[in-house]
Amino acid sequence: MQDYLERLKSGSLKLYALEKELPPAEAVRIRRKYIEQVTGSDLGNLGSYTIGIDNVVRKNCENMIGAVQVPVGVAGPLAVHGEYADGEFFLPLATTEGALVASVNRGCGAITKAGGAEIRILRDGMTRAPVFAARSVAHAKEIADWVSSHREEIRTVAESTTSHGKFLDVTTSVTGTSVFVRLEFDTKDAMGMNMVTIASAKVAELIVDSTGARLIALSGNMCSDKKPAAINLVRGRGKSVVAGVFLPDALICEVFKTDAATLTEVNLRKNLVGSARAGSLGFNAHAANVIAAMFIACGQDPAHVVEGSSCITTVDQAQGGIYVAVTLPSLNVGTVGGGTSIATQAECLSLLGVSGGGDPPGSHARKFAEIVASGVLAGELSLLGALGAQHLARAHQQLGRG
């Protein structure tokens, strides 16, 4: 080890090159030791992990020095009645926020007592939107018109890059001399960002060669990826999912210690009016809480939580109770690729019965999306109930303080 540490200190060996000379576990150990010596830190706990790292250092994390462990709790059982997920599930939630798992668990109990959540996927398409420069506004219109009239040619070129993805749609937006081409794909069980990026690169070449447009960036932010955006709220991105449940008056009183009218008013004044007054792109209580916890546990890209947070929670008065629903226009999930193959994350996906590719292709990712949406519904119900009963502060005092 000492020889490698000396070479790192002298600069004759780079941190990123350790795996070229050593097995992954040894490379990680020496890199961590070097960082400890340089910074004076004790990183012993970072070096204690159970996941196999041969693929991790190649696919998931460069310059690895260890792993951060996040506690994982379960909420459930949660009864779900979707087109892909049908049964009772325990939700794995990776979090350090006291009271979150307990809150979601209470929501799961209410939904299950009510007969289960019903879930439907409204749309399924991952997007990438290259931006091109035109010579003039007239040329920009020519580019947009060419794209609209050559959809089949675009489809052929895009699908030539993948054996799994399917081209779904293309739309254009012109701003001055900038032309944005928003391409949409069915990426089956993969979340699909790599797939659509590679396909979009080929389509961009075709557009450049055919129209004289100049490619500026393969992603022009009309996708829109990993940032809050109205286009995703309106048009959707990834899985657009809606989940709902009817709660009878007696159950609301029993579980949430409040009533239907109170829950309705809390949702109206907080989630709808309050969010509108704040200029929020999400109209919900804390959808991102559940999405983040499930994403971290199940190997999803946590940056996509920002799109998932564009959730709208609605409460409709109904005979003998209320119907509560969550609409998630942009839920980006996958069960293959990315972090889904890391051992601990794969186990969490297996807990839900969605690890790896589904049969038919795409069924596992859609099942997972339905389960995540039902978990969001559980979280929304519980927090609305806590707010309606004025129990929020008490719950955090009991469960969220060390």
Token pair for residue 322? 């209320």
Report d(CA 139, CA 134) in Å as an integer: 6
Q: How far apart are CA 77 and CA 91, in angstroms?
A: 8
CA angle 387, 391, 392 (to 5 degrees): 65
**d(C-alpha 205, C-alpha 201), whole Å:** 6
Active site residue 396: yes
Quick one: tokens of 392?
């929020």
* Strand ranges for 95-177 from DSSP E: 117-128, 131-133, 166-175
With tokens 């070096």, the residue in question is 47
Task: Judge whether 377 and 107 are in contact, CB under 8 Å.
Answer: yes
Q: Measured between alpha carbons, how far is 129 from 191 in angstroms, rounded to an integer?
A: 16
Tell me which of 26, 36, 86, 97 is the catalytic residue: 97
Query: Could you tell me the two tokens for 7?
Result: 């070479």
DSSP state of 47: G
Assess contact for 152 and 125: CB atoms under 8 A: no
d(CA 269, CA 248): 22
Written as one letter, the residue type at 58 is R
Report the helix count and the strand count for the chain, using DSSP H and E: 16, 10
Residues marked active site are found at 97, 301, 396
